[in-house]
Amino acid sequence: MTEDQPLHEIFYCSVLAQDLPATAVGAIVGQARARNAQRNITGLLVFDGMRFCQHLEGPRDAVEALMRRIEQDPRHIEVRVVHQGPLETRHYSGFGMGLAESEGPHLMAGVHALEGEAALRHFLALRPSFDING
């Protein structure tokens, strides 16, 4: 376990591979929850039926290893790390890996259009509007 490492965050956006049904997202999250809990990773995945935006936080080595796995996962295409860096305190201490479905594609399209901390701030500002299944 890497609990003694400082916290790190990665925020990325991707698109669901075209040959996968949107229902595959539940299976992805189900598998990820237990694995991420073992690695002390928390976060939120938002899916709008086509696009993913996910904010991950935890020990740096664990978060970076997870991001490498996501980049190699054929269920995601157009994976783009939008922001990453050190983190003072967790945003998601109340749950492990939350899943929310965005109402309509316009919200995540707006996040996908941004870069860096602006994208992350926009995502975090939208968080109260998401119905999070943690």
Where do the domains of the chain lie?
A: 8-133
Please report which confidence band the pLDDT of residue 3 belongs to, taking 50, 70 and 90 as the band edges: low
Please report which confidence band the pLDDT of residue 2 belongs to, taking 50, 70 and 90 as the band edges: very low
pLDDT at 127 over 90: no
Distance CA 54, CA 97 (A): 10
How big is the CA angle at 31 (ends 28 and 84), to the nearest 5 degrees? 70
- 7-66 per-position pLDDT tens digit: 999 999 999 888 887 777 887 788 888 889 999 999 999 988 888 899 999 999 999 999
Using alpha carbons, list the distances in angstroms from residue 101 to 2, 70, 84, 134.
31, 19, 23, 12
pLDDT at 100 over 80: yes
pTM of the model: 0.87
Q: Is domain 8-133 annotated with CATH 3.40.1400.10?
A: no
- 103-123 per-position pLDDT tens digit: 766 777 788 888 899 999 988
